[in-house]
Structure 1
Amino acid sequence: MGENEDRKVKPETKWSKVITELLEVIEHSLANAMKHESCPKALALEVVVGIGNVMGGQVVYLPFGRSIANSIRNKKIHEAWQAGRDVKDLAREYRLGLPTVYEIIARNRSSATK
């Protein structure tokens, strides 16, 4: 991505990709460690090493927890909608208004096509 294109990307999109990558690394590291270890300290060490192997040397921005939780929720809503879930059911399940659910779907659809 060129410098000008990078500026056009919304900050949430940038860190959403980092969070997604981080989740994948943690999931892989835990799955690998759980084959051999069950001690929480050993599992945590495996996760830290996995993160270091993939993201080491990078400056990584992590937003506050609520932003991460909302981003993950929005991704789940979009995936459920793509799988055929009804928007009204999603609004009820996540305790959101219909306009908010439609906005989440539209935002995630547009960021998925970029």
Structure 2
Amino acid sequence: MAKNKSGASIFEGRGASIERELRSIIESALTSMAESNLPPKDLAENLVTAIFESFGGLVVYIPMGYKSAIIRRNQTIFTDWQNGMPTNELAQKYKLVISTIYDVISKSKKMIYEKDQKSGSKDDLGAVNADQTKRNK
């Protein structure tokens, strides 16, 4: 069972039963898939589907790790956008709504601007903004 730094279960009350159910689903899916000789991509898809079928619609808190994955994803989104990928393609690639893509881009630009202001850089994101806006229309 997953534990926090103090050794207690990271799941409280109902969460412990969710953790047991999730472990059971994963174990069952991996056991049945091990004999199938499917490629890893298909195995992963089947496992995700099994989890969605059991937990779809529930709000489940996944501690730590996940936040860093989101940060890495957002950095990749911003890099892709800077390299010219249109926002609608980014939304499809990352399976996000366009408003989330705009939020990621906006927050990333703000972080860069604030970092530049602290370091005394004269870089101006205005040129990047104008260029990206033209390209995405």
After TM superposition, is the score higher than 0.5?
Answer: no
- Comparing both structures, which one devotes a greater share of its residues to helix? 1
Which protein shows a greater Rg?
2
Interval containing the TM-score (normalised by the shorter chain) = 0.3 to 0.5
Q: Which has the higher contact order (CA 8 A, sep 6+)?
A: 1
TM-score (norm 2): 0.37
For normalisation by structure 1, the TM-score amounts to 0.44
